[in-house]
Structure 1
């Protein structure tokens, strides 16, 4: 595993924790070890990677320190649910635009953990992005072995998601969108 892949794995687990998924201590320690062996460097990473079974309870806090040191997650997320959802959607959209988060994963997070937390009457700014995410998912999931145009349709759908994510991020820089532009 190279450094970029190790950082991507760390970020994915950090996002999973942000949306409420429990990640076991054994997995956090293994991620830390994999990242360390891949050449990722930050002060808390050797501590996380070197935990033994008796020290497993320390893994959650050490993992948070690693995430903060590597700046893999926003450190200024709002605590209120709706502003937090907007901040996460914007962050995930930016990660998609930057190519840091793949369209499938980013779309999943935006749809299930962002848009679902935003009241419908406030979600108008997200509609084009959500539509492109759903279209991408539909395109990627339904295919047949004789479908010669499948790959190009999936790539077109991915491009559409990236374009809509870029439009969203540009239209709504760093602050919570309001319904109606």
Structure 2
């Protein structure tokens, strides 16, 4: 529907765009508290890592660089931060593949998600 809007229907575009984002699972409704926003973003990114819609290395890096520092490096994020560091500094001589490190990041994301308060 969004793509087929006529110029006269342009005022409907913002609502339809939000609907598209929601249908794709990309719409984030952040809380008002800044710390809660960071936690919500961490869970959202971890969910994307877990379901494979975001590359594990990219997601772990985002949690490390954009969230963990701002939250004071909470222990709940430490496994993902460690994965981000390992992936960023990986060398072939380690005897472990990048894919194995990415699998570890996916597992860390899944463990983190399992601790999410209901």
Question: What TM-score do the two structures reach when normalised by structure 1?
Answer: 0.52
Partners of 2:78 and 2:28 lie apart in 1 by 27
Counterpart CA distance in 2 for 1:51 and 1:107 is 38
- 2:89 — aligned with what? 138
Equivalent of 1:126 in 77, 80, 101:
77
Structure 1 alignment gaps of length 5 or more: 1-45, 176-181
Higher relative contact order (CA 8 A, sep 6+): 2
* Matching residue of 1:158: 102
What is the CA distance between 1:110 and its match in structure 2?
A: 1.6
* Structure 2: 5+ residue stretches without partners: none
* Cross-structure match for 1:81: 34
Residue matched to 1:169: 113
Deviations 1:120-159 (CA, angstroms, capped at 9, x unpaired)? 1x612211211111211222xx5xxxx5x78952011111
1:66 correspondence with 2:20: yes
SS at match of 1:117: coil
Shift of 1:83: 0.6
The whole-number CA distance in structure 1 between the counterparts of 2:59 and 2:84 is 9
Measured against aligned partners, the alpha-carbon deviations of 1:88-116 in whole angstroms (never above 9, x if no partner) come to 11121122122222212322332233223
Q: Report the aligned-residue RMSD.
A: 3.1
Tell me the residue number matched to 1:18. none
Instruction: Classify 1:123/1:156 alpha carbon distance in 2 versus 1 (closer, same or farther; 3 Å).
Output: same
